Every structure is written in C-alpha cells, then in structure tokens.
Amino acid sequence: IDLLRENGFNCFPIPKENEKGADYRYNGSRTKLNQIISDNENFGYIPLQGKGNCILDIDNKEKYRGQIVKAIEKGYVVIETGAGWQIPVIGLVDNSSKIELFDYGFKDNKIIEIQGINHYCMGIGSIIQHKKLGKEVTYQNVGGDKIMNVNGMDYHTFIENICEKFNVTSKKPNNTS
C-alpha cells in the first residue's frame, strides 16, 4: 500500500465479502485519499489525476507470459491475478483514461485494459472468490519493488507502445468482404 501511495495511486478499502465490488468508500477519481485499510479488508488502487499514472491490466496469463517475465526480470511490480496480471505504471506526462485493447485473431473480447483515473484494480494481498475460475484467488506481487516508469511519455504514445509490444489494437478490424 505504501509503495503504491508513494507513486501517486490512491488505495482504499474493499470489504472481503464484496469480492471485487467496492462500497461507499470508492467514488472514482473523487475517492477520499489515505483511507485506513484494516487487516481484514481487501483494497483497491486507482491512478490519481495529475500524477501521470495508470494500471496495465492483462487478462491472459499464457499469451503474454514472455512480456511479463521481462517485466519481472527488470524488477517491476507485477501483480498476478486470477486471469492475468496488473502492472502499475508511472511517468506519464498526462492523465490516463480507461481503454480496452483487443487481439481479434485470438479472441473477440478485450484482452488488455489500461485503467485510468476513474477505474481501479484489486490490490496486492487481496483475496477473492473468483467466480469465473470457481476458486479462491490471492492477488500477489510476483515481481520486484519498482513501479514501471515510462519517463515522461505521453499517454497516446504509451498506448501505441503497448499495442506494438502486445500485438493488440483498440479498433475492430474493417470487414472488407
């Protein structure tokens, strides 16, 4: 929690019985800062406006394992989730917003999301009963203790880089038939 807060993320409590659903203490980009999170609660984290950060939320473990191993080797925080990974990112020159990215050759649904200032992810150590997987999942950091820093990149260039590195797109392909 401290590392995330020190890097411009707002961490807030989520009752364990709510699974991934936040309660009244979450209000998008207006969520109260520095809320107390008790030991018997999960927590979410959200990028803060004006802090130049976002969360790379990858929803497939096998397809992107190579890219994730590289991030782990570089010592970045990489949070393993039930279906994939999250990588908190800092160093953007502007605010982030939610975007869904696709690999239509692999599946029709989004495969990567970038969570911006109005969207949160579950935090390290949170435990949920994952409904899609039908099992308990603990969100754990399998990487290091460095937050990925893109060193002054603008948000659109960051998205273009993610699209290139992960072979994804934000657009549906044109049907020319």
Q: What is the per-residue pLDDT for 173?
A: 59
CB environment 2-11: b (16+ within 10 A), e (fewer): eebeebbbbb
Tell me the pLDDT tens digit for each residue of 82-130. Answer: 889 999 999 999 999 999 999 999 988 899 999 999 999 999 999 988 8
Which single residue is written with the structure tokens 């273009």? 160
DSSP state of 16: G
Can you tell me whether residue 64 is helix, strand or coil? coil
Contact 51, 145 (CB under 8 A): no
Q: How far apart are CA 84 and CA 96, in angstroms?
A: 21
Q: Is residue 171 over pLDDT 90?
A: no
What residue type is assigned to position 127 of the chain?
Answer: I
- Which tokens in the block code for residue 163? 């699209």
Q: What is the per-residue pLDDT for 126?
A: 93
Give pTM, 2 decimals: 0.91
Contact 57, 119 (CB under 8 A): no
Q: Give the percent of the chain with pLDDT over 90.
A: 72
Stated as kind and residue range, the H or E segment containing 121 is strand 121-122
Task: State the average pLDDT over residues 10-38.
Answer: 84
Tell me the pLDDT tens digit for each residue of 135-163. Answer: 889 999 999 999 999 999 999 999 999 99
Q: How far apart are CA 115 and CA 146, in angstroms?
A: 19
DSSP state of 22: -
Q: How confident is the model at residue 172 (pLDDT cuts 50, 70, 90)?
A: low
Which residues neighbour 87 within 8 Å (Cβ) at sequence distance 6 or greater?
A: 55, 56, 58, 71, 76, 77, 78, 79, 148
Q: How confident is the model at residue 177 (pLDDT cuts 50, 70, 90)?
A: very low
pLDDT greater at residue 62 or residue 174: 62
Q: What is the per-residue pLDDT for 52?
A: 95
- Mean pLDDT computed over every residue of the chain: 91
Q: How confident is the model at residue 133 (pLDDT cuts 50, 70, 90)?
A: confident
Q: Is residue 12 over pLDDT 70?
A: yes
* C-alpha triplet 135, 139, 143: angle, nearest 5°: 135
